[in-house]
Amino acid sequence: MSLAETKTTTTTSITINNNKKSNKMRVINSRLSAPLLTVTVLTAMAVSLASGLQTVNESKVDNTVCLYQEHNNTYRKELGAVWFSAKDPCLVYSCAAGVAKDPQAHIVVTQVDCNEFYCEVGSELRSVEGSCCGECVRTHCQHNHSLYAVGESWHNDADCTLLECGRLANGQIIINTYKRNCPALTEDCPPSRLEERNCCPYCRPLKATRVDKVLEPEPEEPSGDDIWTAEFYRQHPCNRDCQMGAEPMTCRYKFVVEWYQTFSKACYDCPRNLTDCSRPHCVMGDGLERSITVVNRMMPGPSIEVCQGDQIVVDVKNHLLGESTSIHWHGLHQKKTPYMDGVPHITQCPITPHATFRYSFPADLSGTHFWHSHTGMQRGDGVFGSLIIRKPKAAEPHGALYDFDLSEHVMVVQDWIHEPGASVFAFHHHSRGDNKPHNLLINGRGRYYNRIWEEAKQVHRRAEESRTTQPLEPLPKSQVDFVQTLPRQARLAKNNQTTKLFPVHSRQKRGNLNQIPLELVPHQVYNVRKGFRYRFRIINAEYLNCPIVVSIDHHNLTAINSDGFDIEAMEVGSIVTYAGERFDFVLNANMDVGNYWIRLKGLMDCSEVFTSAFQVAILRYEGAPDEEPSAALSYAHKADGIELNVMNRGPGYPDTKTAAEMRALPIYDHVSGIDEDTLQPEVDFKFFVYYDFYTKNNPDFHDKDLYAMDMEMTQVNRLYTPQLNHITLDFPSLALLPSRSKLKDSDFCNETSLADQGIDCRTEFCKCHHVLQVHLGAVVELIIVDEGFQYYANHPFHLHGNAFRVMGLERLGENVTIEMVKQLDQFNLLKRNFDHPPVKDTVTIPDGGYTIIRFEASNPGYWLFHCHIEFHAEIGMALVFKVGNDDQMLPVPENFPTCGDYNPDAKSDGPTTDITGPGQATTASPSDAGGGSSGLKPILVLIPLFFLLLQSFR
Ligand SMILES: [Cu+2]
């Protein structure tokens, strides 16, 4: 470019900012206000023009002036003057003073780098003629750290206004403010009774107590049509900015549970026409058609987002044709509403078809939670959704670590099989079917890369075989990686400490490949803007044994919360999540503007030994093109940095951290249920809960006369039963909490009571109402032990009704007996951390190891404790804590539904108390105070062996 051709006609005032330290957005005014453009200049790009070409210096006359020519005119610029090139608005000239060696003033030209230029949130960069980088034009309203689109409205409870984001005729974005419409008072109200409620005048009635309740205005119920779109929940009035001191709201929802289908007719031409994929009721999954069970024709189901202190009211209508249901609010303890926990046969009767059950409970615990069906395999089939309870950002201990906490950054992850859960369950438990998830989904969608690549490979092979004259395109690298992974159709079993692979039948060939182009199924996209920090919330809604590693290319994750409880912030490279767990992390969008893969990698039954299941979403910076990241995809991808919540590994490694190595914030030191009392050396109750997959003739899956475990069963046809303390939980026909008046202690069993009766559950199959009783306020320690003999497995355990401290977690090795662990404990060799151990409600137990948890039994009721893998929980890998006496539990709500057996010949109306054993039926006695810990004798001879084991695994 020739300076002689330029003319400085721009009137835009500019500021040169050479401060490279800040890479955050600088500016910005919309074009409607006074134009001001601030740019960051890359000084390294500045060059001095050779004198004599286009510039004329009069240094001999005046060293403070630069001259340059343009259209035969000579222009004069004072030292320090700065101006734009008229031809190229990205070139900036400045008149610089000379130095001693070359005292002439001279012109420096600088190229503006638009990559360093950002608009603030809620505005976007638009090109403007004559402007180098364009100008920032406001597109959204911003209020209290939230963005609102034009037309969107929200309540501001702090000043009782309704706000609306609008646009003036000239394009300017404004926030309109409306006063809330209040109903007129129906009576002359004396000033002494006049008060304000929900921002409106309210006349307090004379008889306060009961009349008050009647006069409370009923909140509006959602209308029938609204509930069926995700938009309804995004716009729900309860999904709002949570303000200090604001009035709580009653948040109403209606859930209709029904059988449904991926790629139903609601999807029209999705994914060929991507707009169709966004239609209401279009559930995509990974593109393969299968029947599902969902709420309001969405997967994940409706998202409930409220503020702490609100009341959540959900009417669940069972529209399943011949199947019961129930909804558990995972993460809430239902301290004032134990009947709302949603566990069938424990806290309520299942909701029968055609019936509607109203769940109503306070949103008392903030955090990332979720709701899911607690019945059968319904969670795996799609009955789940997020439940986010926020508090004012100023009240969040980690609130200063992030700029935004948005609904769109919730990440619900799930495992995915292309058949209904009940079908997989029956095939696996009664025949040769495996239980391995084929794929993973993020917010109900994803690509089935393994199938896509497999098909591409076959097409490639066929083309090669036909020896066409056309040269073949080489396979992309990621496909080659996949081809080279280990065989997928195999079952891993452990036998005498050796690992063997067994071929198993696979269902992965079913589906509709030819109808729906799997490679077009859209990814989940998470949008961020460079220079800001975002709170992401991971919810693991899986139902099988497939822990998921979450990582984001080129970004660290700052973990700040798990299961709703804050931890000391930890910067990690990836987070492992197990079924039922939640993790919140902060993502700092500080990398180059672009697209990055968010990666999910399945472990255990999703590992390269079985299905190599993985999934991706896109992290898209504002300004990046609408395209996929270029980084290669492969199951083998390993994230950099520390792996948090590592699977089957103890503490003390530099590249991994266990859940027990997180540290709780001190704010929980005085919170009932998890307070300092739980961290005293002595506890009131210590229970050993141990398990493995046992070789027993479980009559639910083996007939001891027709097809017993030892009757020439092939490996794949043998069903090993997971049990807690060798007991399978027998769910009663009635519901324990509401029907407790019909129960006697002798209806319950546990290890001690069975041993007292001379029943050896190690050799017999025991199935009974497994209940551990503790008194209200007792400090309880559970030492949960995975004996690790059968399979290399992993189980996450979830406690209802109470959170707990994770005191310790260790892997000892394969083949760990409960007797060994008791010996270790006797010699005080189990690791316990008493210094702010993390608070959680779901935690993993390493294979061949233990996890120690503690809680204060502060919530009276019957609370389930179970493996959160649905296949395990539903066949009895669970037990019940009875906290407090029956009369300490809240009374049964009026007209609460009942259930149970009907047999006019039966003498008792209590639950079935038979213990299933080979040719044996007996009745259990109540547990003693020590529960399971006193039933077994120490075996001293094992100690030396145990120390050897410890050595070998440290
Ligand atoms: Cu399990």
Q: Specify the CATH number for the domain of residue 453.
A: 2.60.40
Whether 804 is covered by a domain: the verdict is yes
Q: Compute, in angstroms, the gap from residue 797 CA to the centroid of ligand 1.
A: 8
Local structure of 414: helix, strand or coil? strand
Residues whose CB is less than 8 angstroms from the CB of residue 654 and which lie 6 or more positions away in sequence, other chains included? none
- Residue count of the chain: 954
Domain-ending residue, one of 358, 376, 395: 395
Q: Compute, in angstroms, the gap from residue 533 CA to the centroid of ligand 1.
A: 36
Residues whose CB is less than 8 angstroms from the CB of residue 123 and which lie 6 or more positions away in sequence, other chains included? 28, 30, 136, 137, 138, 139, 140
d(CA 375, CA 257): 12
Whether 660 is covered by a domain: the verdict is no
Pairing verdict, β 250-261 and 582-588: unpaired
d(CA 158, CA 389): 18
- Clarify whether residues 760 and 807 are in a common domain: yes
- Clarify whether residues 387 and 430 are in a common domain: no
Q: Compute, in angstroms, the gap from residue 842 CA to the centroid of ligand 1.
A: 12
Whether 914 is covered by a domain: the verdict is no
Nearest to 568 by CA among 308, 854, 836: 836
- Clarify whether residues 312 and 376 are in a common domain: yes
- Clarify whether residues 61 and 188 are in a common domain: no
Whether 411 is covered by a domain: the verdict is no
Pairing verdict, β 65-70 and 73-78: antiparallel
3-state secondary structure 242-296: CCCCCCCCEEEEEEEEEEEECCCHHHCCCCCCHHHHCCCCCCCECCCCCEEEEEC
CATH at residue 875: 2.60.40.420
Q: Compute, in angstroms, the gap from residue 719 CA to the centroid of ligand 1.
A: 14
What confidence score (pLDDT) does residue 714 get? Answer: 83
Residues whose CB is less than 8 angstroms from the CB of residue 189 and which lie 6 or more positions away in sequence, other chains included? 201, 203
CA 575 from chain centre, in angstroms, equals 11
What confidence score (pLDDT) does residue 476 get? Answer: 56
Domain-ending residue, one of 192, 215, 238: 215
- Clarify whether residues 814 and 855 are in a common domain: yes
Local structure of 715: helix, strand or coil? helix
Nearest to 697 by CA among 792, 767, 795, 793: 767
Residues of the chain with pLDDT under 50: 1-61, 207-219, 479-513, 909-914, 917-954
The H or E element containing residue 825 is: helix 818-826
List the domain range (segments joined by +) for residue 459. 424-467+477-508+532-645
Q: Compute, in angstroms, the gap from residue 872 CA to the centroid of ligand 1.
A: 5
- Clarify whether residues 878 and 770 are in a common domain: yes
Whether 319 is covered by a domain: the verdict is yes
- Clarify whether residues 250 and 328 are in a common domain: yes
For residue 251, the tally of other CB atoms under 10 A from its CB is: 20
Q: Compute, in angstroms, the gap from residue 362 CA to the centroid of ligand 1.
A: 30
- Number of domains into which the chain is organized: 5
d(CA 678, CA 692): 28
Q: Using alpha carbons only, what angle is made at residue 929 by residues 924 and 935, rounded to the nearest 5 degrees? A: 65
- Clarify whether residues 345 and 329 are in a common domain: yes
Whether 401 is covered by a domain: the verdict is no
What confidence score (pLDDT) does residue 468 get? Answer: 60
Pairing verdict, β 200-203 and 194-197: antiparallel
- Clarify whether residues 779 and 822 are in a common domain: yes
**What are the residues facing 533 on neighbouring strands?**
588
| Order of all β-strands in the sheet with 73-78 | 55-57, 65-70, 73-78
- Clarify whether residues 384 and 491 are in a common domain: no
Q: Compute, in angstroms, the gap from residue 555 CA to the centroid of ligand 1.
A: 32
Domain-ending residue, one of 645, 677, 698: 645
CB neighbour class for 470 (10 Å; exposed up to 12, middle 13-18, buried from 19): exposed
Q: Compute, in angstroms, the gap from residue 867 CA to the centroid of ligand 1.
A: 5
Q: Compute, in angstroms, the gap from residue 373 CA to the centroid of ligand 1.
A: 17
Whether 908 is covered by a domain: the verdict is no
Residues whose CB is less than 8 angstroms from the CB of residue 197 and which lie 6 or more positions away in sequence, other chains included? 247
Instruction: Tell me the pLDDT tens digit for each residue of 672-716.
Output: 999 999 999 999 999 999 999 999 999 999 999 999 988 877 888
Q: Compute, in angstroms, the gap from residue 427 CA to the centroid of ligand 1.
A: 18
- Clarify whether residues 237 and 385 are in a common domain: yes
Whether 920 is covered by a domain: the verdict is no
- Clarify whether residues 356 and 258 are in a common domain: yes
Q: Compute, in angstroms, the gap from residue 791 CA to the centroid of ligand 1.
A: 12
d(CA 806, CA 854): 7
> Is the Cβ–Cβ distance between 152 and 165 less than 8 Å?
yes
